[in-house]
Amino acid sequence: MKTLLQILLALAVAVGANAKEIKLLNVSYDPTRELYQAYNAAFAKYWKAKTGDDVTVSQSHGGSGKQALSVINGLEADVVTLALASDVNAIAEKTGEIPADWQKQLPDNSAPYTSTIVFLVRKGNPKGIHDWNDLLKPDISIVTPNPKTSGGARWAYLAAYAYALETSSHDDAKARDFVKQIYKKVPVLDSGARGSTVTFAQRGIGDVLLAWENEAHLAQKEFGADKFDIVTPSLSILAEPTVAVVTKVAKKHGTTEIAKAYLQYLYSDEGQEIAAKNFYRPRNETIAKKYAANFSQLKLVTIDDEFGGWTKAQKTHFADGGVFDQIYQP
């Protein structure tokens, strides 16, 4: 018995001595800080139990477009978890560090959770904002980030545009004018969703924040449900934040296997639970049902159906000289 204990102790020491310390960099978009703080701890525990190795995941957060540009300019991310596929596509096209078929590497087009855009208003909804058309009331000031840099802002823009299309029999000119009027009411454009939350919730600017659903819930949680209300519009867009391994960087760092596992674990029960607890809509139907009370029911349109996909939407609306540049005058 004593001998067996000695052998087991020696093995434990040997395993401990041989345990590797691995570092990953996850470049993510602005509002996912709390999500990945919880997820990284859970993944580290899972990986330690599975392989004995210690993994530390460093995070970088910012507007999704800005983050993509950072990676294009050389920031060595092992994985990217960005707000929209278009930003991951940009990295793939401009650097070749992500394969062109990256979206097929993981289920659900590499979008392990979804979200949408809702309205965060002052408590009691003093300005009576219930739907997108209420945003055009004369005394309303709107807070939303810059679509040139923020993925959430692009989803919000497209959600507003989609509403206008749906309520005008798909009259593009009317939809364009609708969105133009909305951006006239935006007093300051932050570069990312978290910046806009600070502007609205901490700086007290504006009457309504066009927010990621999770940001709206987190703002209530952090600042108090007695300060803000969440208003669900009649229609919004199904936002699909996507994830990908930056293959060439992971290969250089020797982290390919763990980077893949890191993203795959987002689809596990634990990963999906963490997403749901942080107000991201899980893909797992069982877990989605469990947390259904966290999420409002509303009509969700998709970017594919409404705008022909991200490539077309990016080119039409957000590229230099696109619709946003035409309608927005600072």
Partner 1 sequence: MKINRWLLGTIIGTQFAFASVAADESATNGDADISALKQQIQELDQKVRVLERKDELDKADAEAAAKKQPLIKLDGNGFAFTSADKNFSVGIHGQLQLDSRTFFENNVAPGADGFLLRRARPIISGTVFHDFDYVFMPDFGGSSTVIQDAFINYHYNPALQLQIGKFKSPVGLEYLQSVKNWAFNELSLASDLVPNRDLGVELHGDLFGGILSYAAGIFNGVADGANTSNSDFDNEKEFAGRIFVQPLKKSGLAALQGIGFGLAGSYGDEAGASSSAGYKTEGQQKLFGYRSTVTGDGAHWRIAPQAYYYYGPFGLLGEYVESSQKVAAGANTATLENNAWEVTASWILTGEKNSYKGITPDHPFDVSKNHWGAVGLFARYAQLDIDSDAFPIFADPTTSAKSATDWSVGLSWWLNNNIRVMTSFSHTTFSGGGSGSVTGQDENTLFTRVQLAF
Site for partner 1, rule CB under 8 A? 141, 187-188, 190-191, 195, 199, 203-206
- In the complex with partner 1, the residue whose CB is nearer, 141 or 168, is 141
Residue 238, phi then psi, degrees to nearest 5: -80, 105
How many Å apart are CA 146 and CA 183, to the nearest integer?
10
- In the complex with partner 1, the residue whose CB is nearer, 208 or 238, is 208
DSSP conformational letter for 203: S
Instruction: For 206-220, give one letter per residue: b (16+ CB within 10 A) or e.
Output: bbbbbbbbbbbbbbb
- In the complex with partner 1, the residue whose CB is nearer, 105 or 141, is 141
Q: How far is the CB of 214 from partner 1 (least distance, A)?
A: 23
Q: How far is the CB of 286 from partner 1 (least distance, A)?
A: 42
How many Å apart are CA 126 and CA 150, to the nearest integer?
28
- In the complex with partner 1, the residue whose CB is nearer, 188 or 300, is 188
Q: How many helices (H) and strands (E) does the chain have?
A: 16, 12
Whether 159 and 231 have beta carbons less than 8 Å apart is answered as no
Q: How far is the CB of 204 from partner 1 (least distance, A)?
A: 6
- In the complex with partner 1, the residue whose CB is nearer, 42 or 205, is 205
Helix, strand or coil, per DSSP, at residue 102 = helix
Whether 86 and 314 have beta carbons less than 8 Å apart is answered as yes
Q: How far is the CB of 122 from partner 1 (least distance, A)?
A: 12
Q: How far is the CB of 328 from partner 1 (least distance, A)?
A: 16
Tokens of 245: 């391994």
Q: How far is the CB of 132 from partner 1 (least distance, A)?
A: 22
- In the complex with partner 1, the residue whose CB is nearer, 45 or 203, is 203
If 0-12 CB within 10 Å is exposed, 13-18 middle and 19+ buried, where does residue 119 land? buried
Strand pairing of 79-82 and 235-237? unpaired
Q: How far is the CB of 205 from partner 1 (least distance, A)?
A: 5
Rg over alpha carbons for the chain, rounded to the nearest Å, is 22
Whether 121 and 127 have beta carbons less than 8 Å apart is answered as yes
- In the complex with partner 1, the residue whose CB is nearer, 31 or 206, is 206
Q: What is the DSSP string of 43-93?
A: HHHHHHHHHS-EEEEEEEEE-HHHHHHHHHTT---SEEEES-HHHHHHHHH
- In the complex with partner 1, the residue whose CB is nearer, 68 or 274, is 68
Q: How far is the CB of 187 from partner 1 (least distance, A)?
A: 4
